[in-house]
Structure 1
Amino acid sequence: MHRRAPYSTTTMKLMLRIALVLLLPAVSSCLPCRRRYNYDYDSIFSFGDSFADTGNGAVVFAEHSLFSPATKPPYGMTFFGHPTGRNSNGRLIIDFIAEKLGLPFVPPFLAHNGSFRQGANFAVAGATTLDASFFSDIPGVGKFVLNTSSSVQLSWFDSLKPSLCSPAQECKGFFHKSLFFMGEYGVNDYSFSVFGKTLPEVRSMVPDVVKTISSATERIIKQDGAKAVVVPGIPPLGCMPPNLAMFPSTDPAGYEPDTGCLRQFNEIAVYHNTLLQDAIKNVQKNHPDVRVIYADFFTPVIRIVESPGTFGFTSDVLRCCCGGGGKYNFNMSAGCGMPGATVCEDPSTHLFWDGHMTEAAYHVIADGWLNSINES
């Protein structure tokens, strides 16, 4: 049998070079696959309102015989292809963050029958920071403020824990590898109150709202062993189409010249975010071994409003993509998902969907939050 002669040294070197060249594309193509984040998480637990609600609101509204527009088309049209209970045309901030961290979408606590080992979402559309009883005396509003406040959501979390970790002493270890989101909270507290209070009176609520948020953050650190908590601020209230449509200013000076947003509403948001950041610093000081992260919701929205083209949005940036007409395409009697409403041709060019943000806007905001989560 003829035996092949061994390769010469020169031939071997040449073959090695060829092999390396052939392997380089495969190696380089895997580089983007590597995790770019400094921290790994096994699960996400989220609290908040419609900016984070992935389906709980639909259950709560149905229990109270209230209409939930997010259960009707065209909600969900961009990504999911059908309504999911999210108040957007697609994914929310929490969805983008879960994707980037390699975790599944965070399932809604009230509407999910499967496992919550990789996280649970307790956020509900319309949820307030303060308990529902606080709003009971506001004419025409009390009946719409449901029992879904921050304290109620924390009680839901407590009820879930035995299925996640047992005995109870093991829970702190389980939650060490979890990422918590405490809110966004506050928008509904102020939005409901403005129907029965003056803006200075609404402003006076801010310290109590912020104190409740910081106390809830302290609670999940002390009681549950959270090691990473993201605490979002609130977006610019004066730029939200519902406020612009329902509370127009008769004085041109009531609008910010650079944005067209309502000045006093935005001042309340700035005040809230300033106090919240101070409160977060105190929580961080009390727990130096915990990462307490402020997530800026205000600045990215303002930047989009001031320079929409930079982000690929239309110049008519304060107008809803889906709605029932008017200057801001917001109409309570013909809201998105209701008869009489229309939807824009390309939601990706709009900042606002129905008064909440579009998927495209949430993507921009999520990128900023991810940077904060990674760098803090």
Structure 2
Amino acid sequence: MFLFHVGEDSITDINYSSGFDFQFSLAEVEGAKRSFAMFNNSINSTKLFVFGDSYLDTGNFANSYSFKPPNGITFPGIPAGRFCDGRVLTDFVASFLKIESPTPYRLRNSTNAEYGLNFAYGGTGIFKTVVDGPNTTVQIDSFEDLIRQNFYKKEDLDSSVALVNAGANDYTFALKNGKIIEIEAVTKALVNQMSVNLKRLGSLGIRKIAVGLMQPLGCLPVTLLLPSPLGCNDIINLVSKNHNKLLRQAVQDLNNQAGGKPLFIALDLYESFDSSIKTMQKNFEGNSTLMNPLVPCCHVNGVGNSCGSVDDKGEKKYTLCEKPELSFFWDEVHPSQNGWSAVFNILQPSLSQLT
């Protein structure tokens, strides 16, 4: 996602090239190859196509703090476009499918795209938010353009999987624009459009489509008021719960209409976040060597700064925890690699439907 640093314009073609530091992109791609070198696509023809926000982005948002230290310190060792210290959900799903993490869309013409493509772009939403980036509809437009150009053929899509996650930034945008009293209408509009997007991916030939349910927004450090919070904000979490109730029904309706071809799968990010956080909280109580899971590893100092911000003298505008591997959240809105690993472990039974 990329909560509170969000948005995109509605455009017909994605320009992922301007201002991009190519050495970071190569580090990201090579790092993924080293990590998943045991997987050979001559044996596994599965392709993964990814659409959504910064929870899935692996290097498309060039002019973002994801390309600034200390992001990427765990993997691949330098900042390479993930809003994390290391791997994000896309990487774990690709590993589960026994393929390399798909290439970011911006690198489609310069690196190998045999494992699919990642169109996800940090800060974007289901609808228009406030950053110059492609929403999910525009991302799917770009995917469809590649199919028309025979970049991918029908046989390439027969064993394909789509991973989709978006919506949290839309709620931020709505709340910033005073639509809190219209939250129920906002939720219905978001879920309806997500349903349209999922159905469209199926019509383009993707056989299995997994969509993330909304994470517990009230557990994100950015929504919590105390420096060392003891629990999540249950009122804000109601937004996620209501969203997920409608999205689950939409997924069920799509499966009923499709007769199982394609197959639509809901990935319960709410439960996986909630369960992981509660387990880490229980372990943390009374153990000073562990971290409170609701406290981010990379803590931003001052409004408007991000993990990686420095002042004119190069002084850091953030503080970093000693052991990112003990954290659940990397920054105020994004899980750390350790957090994503915990979430992924809970999602695995649902992911088994993709194989």
Give the TM-score, by structure 2 length: 0.78
Q: Which residue identity does 1:219 align to in structure 2? A: R
Find out whether 1:301 has 2:273 as its counterpart.
yes
CA RMSD between the two structures: 2.3
Find out whether 1:187 has 2:163 as its counterpart.
no
Measure the CA separation in 1 of the matches of 2:46 and 2:258. 22
Partner of residue 360 from structure 1, selected from 321, 332, 338 = 338
Deviations 1:40-62 (A, max 9, x none): 6521000010000001111xx4x
Matched residue pairs, number? 297
Q: CA separation of 1:200/1:306 partners in 2, compared to 1, >3 Å: closer, same or farther?
A: farther
Report the counterpart of residue 24 of structure 1 in structure 2.
Answer: none
Measure the CA separation in 2 of the matches of 1:123 and 1:368. 23
Which segment is superposed worse, 316-325 or 230-239?
316-325
Measure the CA separation in 1 of the matches of 2:194 and 2:300. 34
**Kept in 1: contact 2:121–2:133 (CA 8 A):** no
Matches within 5 A, 1:178-257: 178-182=160-164, 184-222=165-203, 224-245=204-225
Report the counterpart of residue 277 of structure 1 in structure 2.
Answer: 248
Matches within 5 A, 1:333-372: 333-339=304-310, 340-355=317-332, 356-372=334-350
**Kept in 1: contact 2:47–2:156 (CA 8 A):** no
Measure the CA separation in 2 of the matches of 1:225 and 1:361. 32
Deviations 1:81-105 (A, max 9, x none): 0001100000011101212322111
Deviations 1:229-287 (A, max 9, x none): 00111110111112225xx8xxxxxxxx9x62222210000011110000000000011
**Kept in 2: contact 1:94–1:366 (CA 8 A):** no
Q: CA separation of 1:90/1:345 partners in 2, compared to 1, >3 Å: closer, same or farther?
A: same
**Kept in 2: contact 1:41–1:179 (CA 8 A):** no
CA apart distance, 1:367: 2.5
Partner of residue 71 from structure 1, selected from 67, 70, 74 = 67
For residue 332 of structure 1, give the secondary structure of its aligned residue in structure 2. Answer: coil
Matches within 5 A, 1:98-117: 98-112=94-108, 113-117=110-114
Q: CA separation of 1:314/1:300 partners in 2, compared to 1, >3 Å: closer, same or farther?
A: farther
Deviations 1:142-201 (A, max 9, x none): xx3324111110111122222434xxxx52x3212011112x110000012211225332
| Structure with the greater alpha carbon radius of gyration | 1
Structure 2 unmatched runs, 5+? 1-37, 311-316
**Kept in 2: contact 1:304–1:310 (CA 8 A):** no
Report the counterpart of residue 146 of structure 1 in structure 2.
Answer: 132
CA apart distance, 1:203: 3.6
Q: Which residue identity does 1:352 align to in structure 2? A: F
Measure the CA separation in 2 of the matches of 1:87 and 1:364. 17
Measure the CA separation in 2 of the matches of 1:198 and 1:164. 41
CA apart distance, 1:116: 1.9
Q: Which residue identity does 1:346 align to in structure 2? A: K
Structure 1 unmatched runs, 5+? 1-33, 62-67, 136-143, 249-256, 326-330
**Kept in 1: contact 2:251–2:264 (CA 8 A):** yes
Deviations 1:18-37 (A, max 9, x none): xxxxxxxxxxxxxxxx99xx
Measure the CA separation in 1 of the matches of 2:133 and 2:85. 26
**Kept in 2: contact 1:348–1:359 (CA 8 A):** yes
Measure the CA separation in 2 of the matches of 1:297 and 1:311. 21
For residue 163 of structure 2, give the secondary structure of its aligned residue in structure 1. Answer: strand
Partner of residue 61 from structure 2, selected from 57, 70, 79 = 57
Deviations 1:55-74 (A, max 9, x none): 1111xx4xxxxxx1111111
Measure the CA separation in 1 of the matches of 2:131 and 2:157. 31
Deviations 1:113-138 (A, max 9, x none): 223232000000001101x2xx5xxx
Measure the CA separation in 2 of the matches of 1:177 and 1:310. 41
Counting helix residues as a fraction of each chain, which structure ranks higher?
1
Q: Which residue identity does 2:323 align to in structure 1? A: D
Which segment is superposed worse, 270-279 or 282-291?
282-291
Measure the CA separation in 1 of the matches of 2:185 and 2:68. 37
For residue 194 of structure 2, give the secondary structure of its aligned residue in structure 1. Answer: helix
CA apart distance, 1:308: 1.0
Moved over 3 A (4+): 309-315, 331-334
Identity level (%): 27
For residue 213 of structure 1, give the secondary structure of its aligned residue in structure 2. Answer: helix
Q: Which residue identity does 2:61 align to in structure 1? A: G
Which segment is superposed worse, 197-206 or 349-358?
197-206
**Kept in 2: contact 1:129–1:186 (CA 8 A):** yes
Matches within 5 A, 1:112-127: 112=108, 113-127=110-124
For residue 279 of structure 1, give the secondary structure of its aligned residue in structure 2. Answer: helix
